[in-house]
Structure 1
Amino acid sequence: MLLPDKATYTPGETIRVELPPAPAPRRLAVEHLGRLAAEVDVAAGQSEAELPALAEGGYSLTLTGHGDDLHSAVEVLANPTERLRYGFVASYAPDRDVEPVARLFRRLHLSACQFYDWAYRHANLVGPAVYRDPLGQPVSLDTVIRMAARLRATGTAPLGYAAVYAVGHDEWPAWEHAALLQPDGQPYSLADFLRIVDPADPGWLAHFTADLREAADAAGFAGFHLDQYGFPRRAVRHDGTRVNVAAAFGTLLAAVRNALPDATLIFNNVNDFPAWATTTAPQDVTYTEPWQPHDDLADLAAIATRARLLAPRRPAVLAAYQTAYDKLPAAAAETTNRLTMATLFSHGATQLLAGEAGNVLVDPYYVRNHTAEPSTLDLLARWYDLLVAAGDILLAPGLADITRSVTGTLNDEIDVHADVVPIRHDAVPGAVWRRVVDTPHGQAVHLINLTGQAEAGWDTAKEPLPPVTGLSLRIRRTGDSLPIVRVADPDRGPTFTTVDVSADGNHATAALPPLHAWQIVLISDQ
């Protein structure tokens, strides 16, 4: 295994990579979108390599020379939040060893970590040294502090979970006056142990922002994950005041930003509510927790696309919980997850899924996570390696979907053809889903394999993915030169491989390798 010493790097930081020692010399290649950026000679017995300084961007790593090739990736960004890859922790037992957590976050390049349910109480975040959270889980504040510090040291921003308007039974008498009420006069509540207050109430804002500042200082958090429950959308208070909750969230976010000007803030748009308001608020990520009716891959694509359009310079993250891992054999769940990741990554978004020391999310109560099989962690490592290595064409600002402007016989600019399977520009079961994106580094054609499927749900059991062969790329030429075509497949590693291109009159053609789950075809002039 190749293992960078950090999840992400800022310009000028030394980049070190752990590698298994071997009795023979080897070579570590660093590539940017298929172009060699650097090479490092690795001596026999050497267990760490230091990379030369790299410009901002994503890079693949390939170690060759003894046995099977090994892969990883590194990212250099002045502001790592711009391509945030999110993970989680949800266990803070006394004396917990935090090193396995940091190691997983390094392996998967997870640049931020949600510290789920770390707090003493929802309306009183910092408690004694050792306590039980509101649902009875043991928490050691020392473990929280050590884990936050270790993750910071390895390039991951630790973010404390905080619900923005939730009050428990013990604290309720102090906040009952600010309750959001149902039509029958009862306060809105969650699971009968939390009640909801007006998030823009001045007294609550003063308390909540002071609580966040205290928590940041006590635990060493770099920011906060600000949660809501998706309801109510509109409500009244005891005095009859009508509250537009979307607008109230904007007021709250402005107050939190004023109190914590340098913090990373992530607000949860539950089922996309209210992304239209929070994308203009002073927070850092367009984060969405999708629920019914967002059932299909096309729904995830729509959420990701809307997020990038509303806030083009902010990362889009979806908490698409893969309950398939709890319901299906690992191999079957991995097929489902591959199509989810292919959809999100190709639409410029990432997935909150992995965390702890090797677990995946299957439930909105993160304590009920699922211990991942080694095969699942290997899969995620391959896919996240490519996500990092191709970040400049997947996650960077300035990307534009040009599918309907260049494909088809009328446009006749860029298209993919197949011998026996249909090609579609939507997520159609039984077809190859084709999308073309204009990027600063050329045109990226995304191919997602939905052949063999009877439906396109993102958390439903899928048939095995039959490789699609006989795919060919057709491109209208610019001038008399031929374009360069490079192809990447996360199931094969994070590198882009050049394929042969032939002239065909005013067009150029290239035979593409077999399509497994997802393939990126990058077309460029150099």
Structure 2
Amino acid sequence: MSITPARELLPRRASFRPQEPIAIEVRSEVAPGIARVFHLGDIVAEIDWHGGDLLLPMLAEGGYGVELGDLTTAIEIAADPRQRLRYGFVASYAPDKDIADVTDTVRRLHLSGVQFYDWAYRHADLLGGGESYRDALDQPIALTTVRALVGAVQQAGSRALGYAAVYAVGPKEWDRWQHQALVTATGTPYGLGDFLFILDPAAPDWLAHFTAGLSASTAALGFDGYHLDQYGYPKRARRADGVAVDVGASFVTLIEAVRAALPEAHLVFNNVNDFPTRRTAAIRQDAVYIEPWAPQLTLQHLADTVTRARAFGDGKPVVMAAYQHIYDSAPVDAADRATALTMATLHSHCATQLLAGEADRLLCDPYYVRNHKMGPTTAALLKRWYDFLVAHDELLMPSELTDVTNSHAGAYNNDIDVSYPSAELSETAVAGKVWRRIVADNNRLIVHLINLVSQTDTLWDAARAKPADPGRATLRFRLSGTRPPRVRVADPDGLGRLVEVPVQVEGDFAAAELPRLTVWQLLVIET
């Protein structure tokens, strides 16, 4: 069953630059009508559309929602594409690959970066296979396909980042590099099974070889940058010559060497299980990317890891490679609910998730070739939520957003809170409750409400129950002036944009009744 909608609005680019023409493809038979462009729920443009591409007027930087009849999409206008990373992937490069559906995914989900996973001939010999070869795990690779995908991703307004493992050497190359091996206390080389061996990433001869390979790949294939991968171990080891190695420090040396060799490249380093994020987050790469594993198993673990990453990252976008293995073992609807709660957690904490890619695939395994084919309900979920993410970007992603829950909520503060007739609130992710978070943004307060009422635990990669109805909530907040503030509510599974709710003044306080909560609700209070 195809996941491609029969009728849809599809932006020509995943992200538009200022002053760049903004065009949206209108697919299939759509009746002429008035298209409306919304910025945070307010109409900023109306276009009388009669056919062809929907052409929008020039817009200021930011995220926008677009509606034409019952069809919706979102667009981003951004001068600096490095400020955001909505990350996707490709993992197949056969000679006869059809790339059109891949670029549709990039456009549909507004993916601003695409990881080209395992495109190379060998981990330590990136271009050694010629124009066509089988990779180290016997997958067919045609560099003509890689080039075509790179060009198509770039044409779609995104970035193509080639995968490169920073310290992995296969058996055929091992003789050349085993003098730089990282070994255990008993002298056994560290490795990934018997498939790869691990060496000191900061060894000078390896650095010269590795950066030369990246430079040659950029020239040959046109990559915008690289996804620099590691495996999370060892943290400390001996080198084959007996020298003690602090591997976190070696990673810093390597990233800085790659930056020096490729000063314009977009670089993303993988901090496996949050190692060594504190050291790598602030140096000259372009995102704080973390691949969580046990013991980071709960929604609260994800939230806490993102919070640390933002503190270390000096304003860089934060991405979690939270693979939803649950699709391989649970019914689709239960797995979709797990994905929705994962996205709600990450998006409400100023982070994104690496999950979708290819034409119709989800990541459910760290070996990206072993992915999951998504069905129509999952595809529709991702489209709604990614549109919501882009259209509400300035409420979700800026680095200056500040969590003020502890200083505003609860009886002691009595400044702002929400109450439900049949559910309790929590400042953290607690099963059986509504998880409430309050964020300050200049003269706005942003409230996130995540529904965990029907859940018996808060694992992010587990089948989730249908959300229970906690009843109609009441928002109550202290007034700071004589005029009541404007209150608006949005839900990615509802209308998808902010709508105003009536506010009643009660002395020094004001109150508003909220729409029913499904999975995640976003409230905006403009003071």
Pairwise same-fold verdict (TM > 0.5): yes
The TM-score normalised by the length of structure 1 is 0.97
Please tell me whether the aligned partners of residues 343 and 352 of structure 2 are also in contact (alpha carbons under 8 angstroms).
yes
Partner-residue secondary structure (3-state), 2:302 = helix
Matches within 5 A, 1:276-295: 276-295=278-297
Equivalent in the alignment of 1:430: 432
Shift of 1:202: 0.4
What SS class does the counterpart of residue 75 from structure 2 fall into?
strand
Which aligned pairs between 1:74-223 and structure 2 lie closer than 5 A? 74-126=75-127, 127-223=129-225
- Partner amino acid, structure 1, of 2:81: P
Partner of 1:415 in structure 2? Answer: 417
Task: Name the SS for the 2:453 alignment partner.
Answer: coil
1:22 Cα deviation from its structure 2 partner: 5.2
TM-superposed CA distance for 1:34, in Å, is: 1.3
Paired residue secondary structure (2:524): strand
Contact 1:11 1:76 in 2 (8 A): yes
CA contact (8 A) 2:88 2:354 kept: yes
Number of positions where the alignment pairs a residue of Structure 1 with one of Structure 2 = 519
State whether residues 281 and 314 of structure 2, in contact with CA within 8 Å, keep that contact through their aligned partners in structure 1: no
CA contact under 8 A between 1:312 and 1:398: conserved in structure 2? no
CA RMSD of aligned residues (A): 1.1
Q: How does 1:27-426 map to 2 (within 5 A)?
A: 27-43=34-50, 46-64=51-69, 69-126=70-127, 127-426=129-428
Q: Structure 2, unaligned stretches of length 5 or more?
A: 1-7
**In the alignment, which of 509, 512, 519 is matched to residue 511 of structure 2?**
509
Moved more, 98-107 or 30-39: 30-39
Q: Find the aligned partners of 1:23 and 1:10 in 2 and give their Cα distance.
A: 27
1:480-503 alpha-carbon deviations (Å, 9 max, x no partner): 001111111011243111111111
Secondary structure of 2:282's partner? coil
Aligned 8 A contact 1:452 1:466 in 2? yes
2:183 partner SS: coil
Could you tell me which runs of 5 or more consecutive residues in structure 1 were left unpaired when the two chains were aligned: none
Alignment match, 2:445: 443
SS at match of 2:182: coil
TM-score (norm 2): 0.97
Which segment is superposed worse, 515-524 or 29-38?
29-38
Check whether the contact 1:393–1:441 (CA below 8 A) recurs between aligned residues: no
Cα displacement (A) at 1:47: 3.4
Cα distance in structure 2, aligned partners of 1:196 and 1:477: 60
Contact 2:439/2:446, CA 8 A, preserved across alignment: yes
Per the TM alignment, residue 21 of structure 1 is displaced from its structure 2 partner at its CA by 5.7
Cα deviation code 1:435-477 (max 9, x no counterpart): 0011246111000000011100000111111233220111111
- What CA distance in whole angstroms lies between the structure 2 residues aligned with 1:23 and 1:102? 22
User: Do the aligned residues in 2 keep the contact of 1:87 with 1:110 (CA within 8 Å)?
Assistant: yes
CA–CA distance in structure 1, aligned partners of residues 462 and 297 of structure 2: 9
Q: Contact 1:27 / 1:40 at 8 angstroms: preserved in 2?
A: yes
SS of the equivalent of 1:435 reads strand
Percent identity at matched positions?
Answer: 51
Structure 1 residue 333: deviation in Å?
Answer: 0.5
Distance, in Å, in 1 between the alignment partners of 2:30 and 2:157 is 31
The answer to whether the 8 Å contact 1:469/1:513 transfers is no
SS at match of 1:515: coil
On the 8 A contact 2:478/2:509 being kept in 1, the answer is yes
Q: Deviations over 1:195-232 (max 9, x none)?
A: 01100000000000000001111111000000000000
For residue 497 of structure 2, give the secondary structure of its aligned residue in structure 1. Answer: strand
Amino acid across the alignment from 2:63 = G
Structure 1 counterpart SS, 2:465: coil
**How is 1:488-503 mapped onto 2 (pairs within 5 angstroms)?**
488-503=490-505
Task: State the AA in 1 paired with 2:105.
Answer: L
Look up the equivalent residue of 1:54 and give its one-letter code: L
Amino acid in the other structure paired with 1:124? D
Give, in whole Å, the separation in 2 of the partners of 1:354 and 1:492: 22
What is the 5 A alignment of 1:442-521? 442-521=444-523
CA 1:449–1:23 in 2, change beyond 3 Å: closer, same or farther? closer
Letter in 1 for 2:490: A
Question: In the superposition, relative to structure 1, how do residues 440 and 326 fare at CA in structure 2: closer, same or farther (>3 Å)?
Answer: farther
Per-residue deviation, residues 145-178 of structure 1 (Å, max 9, x unmatched): 0001000001110000000000011111111111
